[in-house]
Amino acid sequence: MNDEADGSDAGVLWRTSTSPRRGPKPRYTLDGIAAAAMSIADEDGLEAVTMQQVAARLGTTKMALYRYLPGRSDLDAVMLDRALGPSPAVEPGDWAEGLTVWTRTLFTRALAHPWAVELAQRPHLPGPEEMTWFETGLEATASLPLESGERLDLLALLSGHALSLVRQRVGSATPEEDLAGRTAAIFAHHRERYPRTASAFVEAGREGSRDAALDFGVERILAGTAALVAERRSAD
């Protein structure tokens, strides 16, 4: 998620009615158009999504879609909001567990549509669904002695960690395991040059600790936050 915006994609997601304002009864809906665009992105990548391709998928013309979406940035905004969906409910009381669920769910949603990572990390105005992620995350941290900016920074750290690992997972559910396999021959011949790296890859396999970066990162971010919280509470 990104809290910078240029405002160009604000209209479609935040207007009170998603129907065209003039003309005959609308034949399409934003949800239907977004679903067509998302299916193209899922199949062929974000670069394959054009207004022309979406129109062809729906059996209409590109110009017909402009009644619903003024431009491509609006289409991107709708796609991202639908891909993220609403934030999961977080049980009150345990802020660390709540933020863990929050981050894991974001990872899972983005992994289902990896192209959403690029859209989320571009400057944009959050849509209604994405805004629920801010609301839920901030609610989970409401009891902590953190400044508002720090609470937003905490969400940025968690979401950035999750989304970066989605990029790593594209094309493989076990990227670290795969990398270990690809580098085995290199280490067999150059172990003396890279002794620590070779040992780390081998030992991670023995320990069963490969491809655990999501939970490791979340735990370390939250442990650091807990230490800061404890420090501030003890100073009161």
Q: Of 67, 83, 99, which marks where a domain is finished?
A: 83
Let me know whether 163 and 210 are in one domain.
yes
CATH number where 22 lies: 1.10.10.60
Q: For residue 158, give both structure tokens.
A: 């968690």
| Domain count across the chain | 2
> Under 8 Å CB-to-CB from 53, ≥6 apart: which residues?
40
Select from 52, 20, 17, 15 the least CA-distant residue to 36: 52
Let me know whether 77 and 90 are in one domain.
no
Supply the range of the domain harboring residue 91.
Answer: 84-235
In a domain, 3, yes or no: no
Residue with tokens 């994609």: 9
Let me know whether 216 and 109 are in one domain.
yes
pLDDT tens for the chain, 236 residues: list them.
654 444 444 567 876 444 445 555 668 899 999 999 999 999 999 999 999 999 999 999 999 999 889 888 899 999 999 999 999 998 878 999 999 999 999 999 999 999 999 999 988 888 999 999 999 999 999 999 999 999 999 999 999 999 999 988 776 667 666 666 677 777 777 777 888 887 777 776 766 656 688 999 999 999 999 999 999 999 87
Let me know whether 73 and 92 are in one domain.
no
Q: Of 32, 49, 83, which marks where a domain is finished?
A: 83
CATH number where 198 lies: 1.10.357.10
Q: Of 41, 58, 83, which marks where a domain is finished?
A: 83
Let me know whether 78 and 91 are in one domain.
no
Let me know whether 91 and 73 are in one domain.
no
Let me know whether 217 and 153 are in one domain.
yes
Give the DSSP letter string of 99-158: HHHHHHHHHHHHHHSTHHHHHHHSS----HHHHHHHHHHHHHTTTSS--HHHHHHHHHHH
SS3 helix, strand, coil % of the chain, rounded to 5?
70, 0, 30
Let me know whether 93 and 51 are in one domain.
no
